[in-house]
Every structure is written in structure tokens, then in C-alpha cells.
């Protein structure tokens, strides 16, 4: 109840927050075991009333609780108290005699636990595979399949292993530990990334995060991502920015290699490529300081002629404008040409839906087109503010938007795969296409 708002995941999964549901049943079991005469005091009408109320509470929970309900919380009282009332009513009540004692209901009760495990697993994976667009038809199919699997589990797994002694118990505990380790491993790695990467490699490629030579060259700044065209050559151009810089590097590398220029990309996620003061509201003690040091080092490097800036388009407020202006003027004062690259628009859907993998993953988005009118309005507002700033400072810019979208649509399918690899980031071939006109 107290954690359902602040930490709903813990409230749902933690035994500490759910143990009371088991205690309710345990307390009644103690009464049945040690005070059996207490049960006999209940009149048959009372038992019938309790069974009706209990069934009604469970039905109400089924009808009114959905994915927006703060469950468990107070809502958990509905199924818990409902089940308790049905248990208290015992076999003497009419509902329990005529409905719950029915052979079909008894069979469902027997397979209920494996059914609980199977239906959750199948529906969850169905949502993952369908990118959260699982239709009601497929949900019904998965529930029917889960009933069949629950029966087979009870018939050929539970009955086989339940009474096999300590050796089987030890084996099952070991298997449970192994499965738990696999889950923990996937969690700490933020998923099994190689599976997604394999799909992306077939649909346009995903750029690398770092190059060894680049990390060595910029080791004093300890960057989170770092790319370098040629290790054994002085730098000519450096691209700095937050993680959005990945959208630009692959395409820019191709264009600058045509001129024999050496390009590097350096940055940190969430860190704008600007000089920030320690009392700025968006100053991060570690990464902002490193970005400041990087900008100073690049400005003082006589070999570097051009600095490319790019970043996400949050709300372009007065502070960000001041920081950008401060940074651009500092580079220009040290003889650098500054070019600002407008970021591509973020999509309103995941491009993985444009890739079908029958029969496992259906093709969810055959059109694979981002509607201009469905792009976040804040993106356009930010573009206008950045354009005004670029004009005021008289710096050249490159507009990725015009290379992606026309007046009404942004087609994501290109020769060789997809333009985007997720909502905000381009594939390798997508970057190459978007920056194909960079030097024109």
C-alpha cells in the first residue's frame, strides 16, 4: 500500500509486500486446525452469504482491474478477501457444492498453478514479439495454448517429480539457481544485446561505440564513446556532442575520407557539447567538467580546423542558448570553423516493427513511414530556436530533417535496410544516406 506509488514494481514482486495475502489464508488454516468447533457455529445461511460475497469480489476484480490499476495496493483486498470468504464457506455452501465442486472447476484448480506460470510467460513474450501490439485474437489463442501446456506440465512434470525424494529436490533447486542467474545476467547487461544487433546488422547496421585508437588518443578525457577514422594521422575535424552524435559519424566519415581528412567523434550521453559553468542548472559534476576540458583541448590543438556540434533538441531555453553561444565564440576565437548539425527527428514508433520475422514476429508496420504531423511538436520548436541562434552567430549548419522527410512523410525504408535503428538513432547506412549531401 505504501510502496505502490513510489515503487510499483517492488510492491508487486517483493515477498515482503505480498506476504500478507498468504498470511490471511494461513491464519484461517490455523483456526481450522486448532479450533474446528469454531467453524461449526456458522449457520448455513451465513456460509452461503459469504460464498456469494466472495465470488462477487473476485468477479469485480476481474472486471474492473486493468493495467492502469495500482495493484496490489488496496485493490489486492478484492481477490484476497474473496478467496478467503469462499474458503470459509467450505463445502457446505451452495456455490461451493454446485459450482466450485464441478469436475471442470476442480480440473482447472488442479492445473491452476502451472496455468498461472504459463499464461503469464506466453502473454509477456507475445507482447515483446509484437512490440506491445498483441491483438485480442492472439491473446485468446495464447491462453488456450497455456491451458494445454499447464495440463501437460501437471501430468508429466509435477506428478513425475513431486515425490521423487531429495535428489530431485536438489536438482530442481540447482536448475532454479541457473535460471535465476540467467535472468540476472540479462538484467545487468540491459538485455541480450547481440540478438537485437544481429537484426540491425541485416537492416542497415549499428555503429560501434568506441575505437581503441580513439580511446587512447583522448584517454585524458575518459569519454564514454569515441570514434576515429585514422589512428596514425593528425586530426582535422572533431565531432562532439551527446549520444545523438552517433547519427552523424558514419555518414561524415565517408564524406571526409573522400577529402583525405581525419575525423573523430567524442562525447558522453546526455552531455551537450557546450562550455558550462559550475553554477549552471544543467551542470553535471563529472561529464560537464570533462566536456569543458575537451573543448579547451580541441580549441588549443593547432591541427584541428573544424569543430562539428550536434545534440538532442530539448527545450531550447535561454541557458542552453547562452552555453551554445559561449562555446561557438570560444572555438571561433581560437581559429576553428564551427558547423552545427541539426539532429534527425525522433520517431513515434519503434522501427523494429517494420521488420517481420514470420512466424515468430509478424510484420507490424508494413508501410514503415513516419508521419510528419506525428513528430513531437517540441522538435520543430527547438529547430526554430537553433536556426535563429545559427543565423545570429553566422555559422554554417546542416539540416538532417530535409534529408529524411518531405512535406508530409518520412520514409524509413531505404536500399539495404532501414534508415533508423530505434526511435532516435540512425543505422549506419541511414547515416550515410542522410549525410550524402553534406559537402555540397
Boundaries of every domain in the chain: 8-193, 209-434
- pLDDT value, residue 346: 95
- The whole-number average pLDDT for the span 215-237 is 95
Q: What is the pLDDT of residue 200?
A: 56
Please report which residue ranges of 189-220 form alpha helices under DSSP H: 193-202, 212-217
Give the mean model confidence (pLDDT) for residues 193-214.
Answer: 72
For 87-110, what is the mean pLDDT?
90
Residue 422 has pLDDT above 80, yes or no: yes
CATH superfamily of 209-434: SGNH hydrolase (3.40.50.1110)
Longest dimension (CA), the chain: 95
Query: Against a cut of 0.75, is the pTM above it?
Result: no
pLDDT digits (tens, 9 = 90+) for 115-126: 999 999 999 888
pLDDT tens-digit profile of 360-397? 666 777 889 999 999 999 999 999 999 999 999 999 99
Supply the mean pLDDT for the chain. 89
Q: Which runs of E-coded beta strand occur in 183-287?
A: 225-228, 237-241, 263-267
Which CA distances in Å does 138 have to 27, 130, 132? Answer: 40, 10, 12
pLDDT level of residue 434 (50, 70, 90 thresholds): very high
User: What integer pLDDT is reported at residue 260 of this predicted model?
Assistant: 94
Phi, psi (rounded to 5 degrees) for 35:
-130, 60
Residue 107 has pLDDT above 70, yes or no: yes
- Which residue in 129, 127, 124 sits closest to 362, CA to CA? 129
With 70 as the cut, is the pLDDT of residue 154 above it? yes
The pLDDT of residue 194 is 60
Amino acid at each position: 500500500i505504501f510502496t505502490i506509488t513510489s515503487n510499483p514494481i517492488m510492491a508487486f514482486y517483493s515477498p515482503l509486500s505480498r506476504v500478507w495475502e498468504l498470511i490471511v489464508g494461513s491464519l484461517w488454516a490455523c483456526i481450522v486446525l486448532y479450533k474446528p468447533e469454531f467453524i461449526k457455529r456458522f449457520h448455513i445461511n451465513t456460509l452461503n452469504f459469504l460464498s456469494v460475497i466472495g465470488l462477487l469480489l473476485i468477479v469485480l476484480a476481474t472486471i474492473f482491474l486493468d493495467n492502469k490499476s495500482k495493484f496490489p495496493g488496496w485493490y489486492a483486498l478484492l481477490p484476497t478477501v474473496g478467496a478467503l470468504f469462499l474458503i470459509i464457506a467450505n463445502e457446505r455452501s451452495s456455490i461451493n457444492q454446485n459450482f466450485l465442486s464441478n469436475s471442470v472447476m476442480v480440473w482447472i484448480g488442479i492445473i491452476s498453478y502451472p496455468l498461472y506460470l504459463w499464461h503469464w510467460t506466453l502473454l509477456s513474450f507475445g507482447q515483446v514479439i509484437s512490440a506491445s501490439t498483441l491483438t485480442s485474437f492472439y491473446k485468446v489463442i495464447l491462453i488456450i495454448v497455456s491451458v494445454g501446456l499447464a495440463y501437460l506440465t501437471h501430468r508429466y512434470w509435477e506428478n513425475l517429480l513431486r515425490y521423487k525424494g531429495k535428489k530431485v529436490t536438489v536438482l530442481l533447486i540447482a536448475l532454479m539457481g541457473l535460471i535465476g542467474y540467467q535472468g540476472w545476467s540479462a538484467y545487468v547487461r540491459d538485455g541480450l544485446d547481440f540478438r537485437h544487433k544481429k537484426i540491425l546488422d541485416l537492416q542497415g547496421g549499428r555503429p560501434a561505440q568506441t575505437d581503441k585508437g580513439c580511446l587512447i588518443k583522448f584517454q585524458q578525457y575518459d569519454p564514454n564513446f569515441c570514434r576515429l577514422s585514422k589512428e596514425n594521422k593528425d586530426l582535422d575535424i572533431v565531432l562532439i556532442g551527446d549520444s545523438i552524435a552517433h547519427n552523424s559519424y558514419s555518414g561524415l566519415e565517408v564524406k571526409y575520407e573522400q577529402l583525405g581528412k581525419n575525423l573523430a567523434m567524442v562525447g558522453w550521453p546526455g552531455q551537450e557539447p557546450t562550455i558550462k559553468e559550475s553554477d549552471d542548472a544543467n551542470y553535471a559534476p563529472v561529464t560537464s567538467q570533462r566536456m569543458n576540458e575537451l573543448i579547451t583541448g580541441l580549441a588549443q590543438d593547432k591541427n584541428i580546423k573544424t569543430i562539428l556540434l550536434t545534440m538532442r533538441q530539448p527545450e531550447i531555453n535561454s541557458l542552453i542558448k547562452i552555453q551554445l553561444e559561449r562555446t561557438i565564440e570560444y572555438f571561433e576565437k581560437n581559429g576553428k570553423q564551427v558547423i552545427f548539425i541539426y539532429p534527425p527527428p525522433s520517431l513515434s514508433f519503434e522501427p523494429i516493427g517494420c521488420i517481420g520475422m514470420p512466424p515468430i514476429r509478424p510484420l507490424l508496420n508494413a508501410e514503415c513511414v513516419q508521419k510528419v504531423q506525428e513528430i513531437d511538436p517540441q522538435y520543430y520548436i527547438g529547430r526554430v530556436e537553433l536556426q535563429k541562434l545559427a543565423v545570429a552567430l553566422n555559422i554554417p549548419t546542416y539540416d538532417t530533417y530535409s534529408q529524411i522527410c518531405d512535406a508530409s512523410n518520412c520514409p524509413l525504408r531505404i536500399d539495404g535496410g532501414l534508415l533508423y535503428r530505434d526511435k532516435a538513432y540512425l543505422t549506419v547506412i541511414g547515416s550515410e544516406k542522410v549525410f550524402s549531401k553534406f559537402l555540397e
